[in-house]
Amino acid sequence: MTTLQDLGLAYRKAKVDLYYSSHASLDAIADYEKDLHANLSALLAQINSDDESWVTSPNFIGSWTLVTKAVDMAAWKKYRQKHGNGLIFSSPAEEWEHACRSLADQDEPHKPKAEFRVMAKCSLDFHVLSTLWMLEVGHQFDEKLTDCAFGNRLRRKETGKKDINKLSLGTFKPYLKPFRDWRDKGIDAMRTALDAGKKIVALTADVSSFYHKLNPGFMLNPVFVKGVLGLDLSDEQAKLNRLLIQALQTWAAATPLKNGLPVGLPASAVVANVALVELDRIVEQQVAPLYYGRYVDDILLVMENGADFRSTVELWEWLFARANGKLGWVLGQEHKQICFQPDYLNQGESKSQIHFANAKNKVFMLADEPGKTLVDAIAHQIHERASEWRAMPRLPRSARHVGTDLLAATQSDGEAADNLRKADALTMRRAGFAIKLRDFEAYERDLLPEAWQAHRRAFFRAFTQHVLVLPQFFDLAVYLPRVIRLATACEDFADLRGIIGALEKLCKQVSERCDIRIKACPDEKAPAKEQVIARWREQMFTSVRESITAAFPPRLSKSGKQAWVAYMADCHPADFETFPSWPLSDKDFQTQQARLFSFDLAHLPFRFIGLPTEMVAQRGIPTKKTVANCAESAELLPDTVIEGNRQLAKWIKLKGLPHGLLFATRPFNLPELFILNKDAYAESGQSDMQAVVLAVRGFSLSKKAPCFDKHGVLQIPDGTTSHKYGIAVSSWKTHMSSWTAAVTRRPDPDADRYARLNRMLDHVISQPQHSRYLILPELALPAHWFIRIARKLLGRGISLITGIEYLHTSKSRVRNQVWAALPHDGLGFPSIMIYRQDKQRPALLEEQELQRLSGLEMKPDKPWKTPPIIQHGEFRFALLVCSELTNISYRAALRGKVDALFVPEWNQDTETFNALVESAALDMHAYIIQCNDRKYGDSRIRAPFKESWQRDVLRVKGGITDYCVIGEIDVQALRQFQSSYRSPDRPFKPVPDGFNDVMDHNRKVLPVEEMG
């Protein structure tokens, strides 16, 4: 029997799935969660009752809505071919008007066709039932799919691979890696076959209107459940299965399509996936290809071209012959459409139409060098796009070029061969725009609005001119909420009003200038044009209102208040459906924002309320008194979730158990948890860390998690064995005015600092000579930039070591820290841990200036007497900050214990430090990596080589731009040299007197024999 905790866990997952879907109602989620206990108790009573008719009630199934699909401009293309393509308009709005007039003035008038897509607007009860079904029943169906099905696979526990993970947030595996695997494995199979001299054929295909044409009734058919899948459901599981499928069919009957699956309900993805299980079996068992992969309804098939196919028809008919009658031409559509009709999709009321449109399929005949060239071209295209996503955020240097940049990203010409099938301009256009938008969002999170206002205003102007126009808007409408949030969070209310005005105009144009269609809906069944427009308008303006609410600043600046009064105070949508729920004032928006924030549904994640203030901008965070606690949490969730979150609430000084922690949409990531738990690496803190990670992220920390060993060395497993390490030493300048601003807690006057940093980091990321570590000088970065940069560098396997701007604490005290973000694999997947170390005492001038400017005193958070040692994989190193290098006892304590010493500095006395670095390399007999501010320079890697000309592995000084130089250190060679009882002749200087007595046993390796 289903319990309340089952529903609590199902809601927890359903909320995350829904939040990340493209058209979720934030208000609906918040309203449901406000009375969560009552809502789930009522649902539980219905599920456990004998009555099953409740799943067909309108209140339960919810409704449907419409979103943009595309504007069909085929008539305009024909017109231009007939009358010449000479006219080119700089303004998309003018081109649209000209096209509409020209088509209307013909002998046979035409209109562009605006196509919409039906989307689910299900009740939250339906979402919870859907997720409960996946956890109790759907996972058994999913398990019957082979590894050839890549998309929409359920999250399972790492151990044993079988059990569904009920504690993880979200139901499915993240989409990006499976998608890349699906595509890249296909390309690898082609490359391998071509390299072996084989002739191959590659087929790509997808199902037309898959979700809209699939009837879920087959999921109740014993021929399918028992016969095809071999599943034997218990009575309770069979009941849940019936409830879900009846609800899906009832929902479909209430839509204009009268068929199909609700797009936007997660369970639909599982149903759709298993519908094609027989197709997978046919291809894998009867065709036995070189490669077959399916990403939901996208198919990629690679096989040898032994039959020497001459056309796509020949290829399909060859496949038909091996499909036992389950694949064939659609009757009356020979050579145009292929149908997949296994018995379970071809019976009675559950009959479904699974068609592959031949015109959309592609067949590649590949052989010899031309084949390799084409595959390389496809791989290169993918790599280029991946590089753009990996890159740091970058805006044009001048705001004048923002419009040009956006236009280039959204233009509709130009083809690209990304995933072999969707080699169309639309995919590239969306990706291009998404990358630009991501860059602007990064700036919004990392900088104050006034620091980059000109770029932002230019972006909104270009967005209004080039995206909020027909037909472009229908292609890019999915990004509208993010742009609205960007404008609202930055208090750009004049631009926000302009965007809303452009949307009103756009709705009018669709209504007056376009014929209306609903995808997969016959015209005779379609609702009236006015109804279609009204549904779409309501959906769009509800999304606009919720986006403004989610991002509304809890405290408006003076200029923000003035802009709100001038541009937005009288702004209300014209349609009656949206008007009643539109907040009446800025105060109303702020109250609603605090409510959304409390449920982790606002623009900024709820977890930001618990992070140290210097790590996140405080602009979008309401006061702690607005936080809503979950009263009956113990009845809704298992003890593991409650206890872990209770510990986490203690760390972040929150009373009770807030909704935003228990039912998080964007929970704390591991680096943040390592920062919050001051004892994260001590043995005493491990059990708390285990409990919190299990509760928050849904998995158990392994015993290989980073921790201090009995000798006080911080052990960080990284899963790689390397003898040599590339070290990127930066030549980076922090202006004195930025230092003063950090001390006095004023805005940074260096407007170009963020852009300079991103340009330099892009250089490091794109280097073919791979770096393992990047070091920046003392006080080089604001703390709130650190984690984002570290996670970007993680994608390239690069560790970041940098000085952090002063961290202000109570009683006029500051801390000067060096932070290291070190990749590790102790959790079973790539992650980063954050290590923080205090400078123990200020330098003399530093102490004087802190006192003079702001009356500040520098005190460490964690005092230590001997420098901590870090073992990252096989590499042992320590960190000292600037003047700490002058402490002879620190250097003595590290002798024989480390392979390298990293020293971030802001130091003008380069002559003194030159002597210190040279002597430290010899008396510690280790690599010394010194990174000084660019103004003073002398950043270097110094090694204890025998030959003096070799000792500076790299050394840099001067220049007017920021840059990095990569040097390589050979740790294995150093250890082999030091492990001999008597030092060999070369390549290093002999170890200093007494070194053998203090050399750490764990650093010793097999010495190299000295050759004559």
Tens of pLDDT, residues 360-418: 788 889 999 998 988 888 888 777 777 777 788 888 878 888 887 777 777 654 444 44
Q: Which of 330, 365, 400 is the endpoint of a domain?
A: 365
Least confident of 826-830, 847-851, 929-933: 826-830
What does the pLDDT read at residue 380? 83
Q: What is the mean pLDDT of the chain?
A: 91
Report residue 419's pLDDT band, with 50, 70 and 90 as the boundaries.
very low
DSSP 276-327: THHHHHIIIIII--SEEEEETTEEEEEEE-TT---SHHHHHHHHHTTTTTSE
- Whether omega for the bond prior to residue 471 falls within 30 degrees of 0, making it cis, is yes
By the 8 A CB rule, do 423 and 793 touch? no
What does the pLDDT read at residue 161? 58
pLDDT exceeds 90 at position 731: yes
What does the pLDDT read at residue 414? 40
By the 8 A CB rule, do 631 and 37 touch? yes
Would you say residue 386 lies in a domain? Answer: no
By the 8 A CB rule, do 965 and 728 touch? yes
955: CATH: 3.60.110.10
Would you say residue 653 lies in a domain? Answer: no
What is the rounded distance in angstroms from the CA atom of residue 5 to the CA atom of residue 634?
A: 9
What does the pLDDT read at residue 160? 56
Beta-ladder partners of 954 = 941
DSSP 186-223: HHHHHHHHHHTT--EEEEEEEBTTHHHH--GGGGG-HI
What does the pLDDT read at residue 177? 85
In which element (H, E) is residue 361 found?
Answer: none
Q: Which of 322, 346, 365 is the endpoint of a domain?
A: 365
What does the pLDDT read at residue 420? 56
The alpha carbons of the chain give a radius of gyration, in whole angstroms, of 31
Tens of pLDDT, residues 901-931: 999 999 999 999 999 999 999 999 999 999 9
Would you say residue 812 lies in a domain? Answer: yes
Chain center to CA of 597: 20
What does the pLDDT read at residue 422? 46
What is the rounded distance in angstroms from the CA atom of residue 596 to the CA atom of residue 621?
A: 11
What is the rounded distance in angstroms from the CA atom of residue 375 to the CA atom of residue 369?
A: 10
Please enumerate in sequence order all residues whose Cβ is within 8 A of that of 548, keeping only pairs 6 or more positions apart, or say none. 484, 485, 488, 496, 589
Report residue 859's pLDDT band, with 50, 70 and 90 as the boundaries.
very high
Domains: count for the chain: 2
Report residue 1011's pLDDT band, with 50, 70 and 90 as the boundaries.
low
Q: 193 is in which domain, residue-wise?
A: 4-63+121-365
What's the pTM value of the predicted model, to 2 decimals? 0.92
Q: How many helices (H) and strands (E) does the chain have?
A: 38, 25
Q: Which of 365, 394, 429 is the endpoint of a domain?
A: 365
What does the pLDDT read at residue 312? 87
What does the pLDDT read at residue 416? 43
Would you say residue 563 lies in a domain? Answer: no
740-762: buried (b, 16+ CB within 10 Å) or exposed (e) per residue? ebbbeeeebebeebbbebbbbbb
Least confident of 86-90, 121-125, 324-328, 487-491: 86-90
Would you say residue 174 lies in a domain? Answer: yes
Would you say residue 573 lies in a domain? Answer: no
Would you say residue 325 lies in a domain? Answer: yes
pLDDT exceeds 50 at position 897: yes
Least confident of 27-41, 481-495, 717-731, 811-825: 717-731
Would you say residue 963 lies in a domain? Answer: yes
Report residue 937's pLDDT band, with 50, 70 and 90 as the boundaries.
very high
Token pair for 837: 């170390």
Report residue 827's pLDDT band, with 50, 70 and 90 as the boundaries.
low
Q: Span 879-902, mean pLDDT?
A: 96
DSSP 139-183: HHHHHTS-TTB-SSPBPB-TTTS-SB-SSSSSSB--SHHHHHHHH
**Which carries the bigger pLDDT value, residue 701 or residue 689?**
689
User: 3-state DSSP call for residue 858?
Assistant: strand
Q: Span 601-620, mean pLDDT?
A: 91
What does the pLDDT read at residue 48? 96
